[in-house]
Structure 1
Amino acid sequence: MAETSLHIAGRHYTVRCRDGEEAHLAHLADLIERKARLAQQNTPGLTEVRTLLFAALFMADELNELEREAVGRQQQLALDNEDESATRAIEALAARIEKLSDRLAAPAPDA
């Protein structure tokens, strides 16, 4: 198990992680650090805990927005698939109608 040091909101944290996950953890810590700096800039004088709280809220808001966008895209894809199915059904019906029309237009066989 690896150990890495992270810098978030003016403090250093030593955390353990799986071997090879250090860079990923550092990236995540950087994301949190940016949000913490944003919170401190927007509301000077925040305590460490409130800084991290606001950083978490900023990140949760972004995640929530991304989830809503993903749901919207999934719904649009479902509608697109329904449209494709309807188009195929209409095309199949049109082909059947043309065949029936051709049969009706054909001369009757001699009896």
Structure 2
Amino acid sequence: MGQVTIAVGGRHYSLVCGDGEEQQLLRLAEYVDQKAETLSGSLGRLSEARLLLMASLLITDELMELKSQLAEQGGGSLNGAAHTHEAEQKIARLAERLESLAFSLEQPAHTS
């Protein structure tokens, strides 16, 4: 099992992940942190839970918009349907990772 320390919203968390998934988890955390920073800048100081909730909602909105765009581009063709299905699978995997990250963030924080 791999282990990484990520920073989101100014807090550090130690997470366990599958071997070889460390870099992807770091990239995901960086993206979430960027969303959290954007929210903090526009909405001011939020509680950690509200900040993570808002960041996850923004990211989910982006994913749903992408899914919608991919479905429109598919136009019902077999090739388009295959790409849409592949995109849906990627979105589902991302959602699973986000859920896992959210669960990890709910655990007691380990600060570095």
Q: TM-score range by the shorter chain?
A: 0.5 to 0.7
Counterpart in the other structure of 2:15: 15
Gaps of 5+ in 1: 79-111
Counterpart in the other structure of 2:24: 24
Q: How many residues align?
A: 79
Gaps of 5+ in 2: 79-112
Q: In structure 2, what is the Cα distance between the partners aligned to 1:41 and 1:61?
A: 19
Counterpart in the other structure of 1:103: none
Q: In structure 1, what is the Cα distance between the partners aligned to 2:47 and 2:19?
A: 33
Which of the pair has the greater relative contact order for Cα pairs under 8 Å at 6+ separation?
2
Percent identical: 35
CA RMSD of aligned residues (A): 1.6
**Greater C-alpha radius of gyration:** 1
Counterpart in the other structure of 1:65: 65
- AA aligned opposite 1:26: L
SS of equivalent to 2:60: helix
Q: In structure 1, what is the Cα distance between the partners aligned to 2:75 and 2:20?
A: 37
- AA aligned opposite 1:67: K
Q: In structure 2, what is the Cα distance between the partners aligned to 1:63 and 1:36?
A: 17
- Displacement after TM superposition at 1:76 (Å): 5.8
- AA aligned opposite 1:15: L
Q: In structure 2, what is the Cα distance between the partners aligned to 1:41 and 1:2?
A: 33
Q: In structure 2, what is the Cα distance between the partners aligned to 1:34 and 1:77?
A: 36
Q: In structure 2, what is the Cα distance between the partners aligned to 1:41 and 1:77?
A: 43
Listed one character per residue, the Cα deviations across residues 4-54 of structure 1 (whole Å, up to 9, x for unaligned) are 100001111111011111111000000100000011011002111111111
- Displacement after TM superposition at 1:69 (Å): 0.3
State the 4+ residue runs in structure 1 displaced beyond 6 angstroms: none
Normalised to the residue count of structure 1, the TM-score between the two structures is 0.66
Q: In structure 2, what is the Cα distance between the partners aligned to 1:73 and 1:38?
A: 30
- AA aligned opposite 2:16: R
SS of equivalent to 1:15: strand
